[in-house]
Amino acid sequence: MTVESQLASPLFWLLALIGVTLTGISKSGFAGGAGVVAVPLLALVMPVPLAVLLMLPLLLAMDIKTIQYYRQHTSTAELKKIVPAALAGIAAGGLLLGKLPVESLKVLLGGLSIVFALWHRLAPILGQMKGAAWLWGGISGLTSTLIHAGGPPINIYLIAQRLPKLTWLASAGVFFGVMNAVKVFPYLMTGHWTRELLALSLALLPVAIFGTWLGRQIQGRISEQQFVLCCRLLLLVSGLLLIAQVIAGSR
């Protein structure tokens, strides 16, 4: 399907509006807990590599707005632990673009997310074990580069740190902002980015901004306990979506 045909497709716009809005809500309301939803939805009407490229400018815009909302609450100490690991993961992901069996990665990440979301006692084990920041930060950088699914692994780490809600949102916003900015370079090397695709991203920019605004409104109306519960629920949903995408693709 060409970009021109997508512009004329009601199904594309319906799926794009839903996926981008939910991703925006997730970014500013739940630290990216359901950020994997847009690519699977868009993959129903366009190739996955193009869906990934389409989303990156929108993710960057969402990150910028999230940072604007919460920057005064950022934990520099946490970012110093996880950002270097994420950059290493992005470098590895850039080398593996188009080479790694993405389906296997989705199943592994999805299964881990589901188990962690349902088994609360895993938090202190997986999120606070020695080298946890490097492990989950690195995996987040890798999966973010390959399939825009950096949210589940880093939230496994952040849940275990028991950060205040706004500190969690602010730190995650900066973390994802740095990652998505760095990902521009390996994505440019793929040669698949076109002016038409960038124009399509630009057309969806107001939707991304609206979703981010809506997420901020939602998080302001829930307690710390409800926030953690929602993040666990979104981690579960993310895991199920990743596995469902593999199952659907194998048919």
| Lowest-confidence region among 59-63, 79-83, 213-217, 232-236 | 232-236
Rounded to 5 degrees, what angle do the CA atoms 108, 186, 142 make? 20
Per residue in 167-188, pLDDT (tens digit) is 988 998 999 999 999 988 888 8
Helices 205-219 and 10-30, axial angle in degrees (round to 10): 40
Residue 36: which pLDDT band, with cuts at 50, 70 and 90? low
Per residue in 14-31, pLDDT (tens digit) is 888 988 998 888 888 877
Instruction: Decide: 168 and 27 in contact? Cβ < 8 Å.
Output: no
Average pLDDT over residues 97-104: 72
Per residue in 186-199, pLDDT (tens digit) is 888 877 788 888 88
At 210 the pLDDT is 96
- Quickly list DSSP for 116-166: HHH-TTHHHHHTTSTTHHHHHHHHHHHHHHHHS--HHHHHHHHHHHT--HH
At 217 the pLDDT is 92
pTM higher than 0.85 for the full model? Answer: no
Average pLDDT over residues 1-21: 76
At 141 the pLDDT is 92
Instruction: Decide: 62 and 24 in contact? Cβ < 8 Å.
Output: yes
Residue 186 token pair = 């390996």
Residue 137: which pLDDT band, with cuts at 50, 70 and 90? very high
Residue 8: which pLDDT band, with cuts at 50, 70 and 90? low
112 or 210, greater pLDDT: 210
**Considering only CA atoms, which of 134, 159, 126 is closest in space to residue 30?**
159
At 150 the pLDDT is 81
- State the amino acid at position 195 in one-letter form: R
Residue 6: which pLDDT band, with cuts at 50, 70 and 90? low
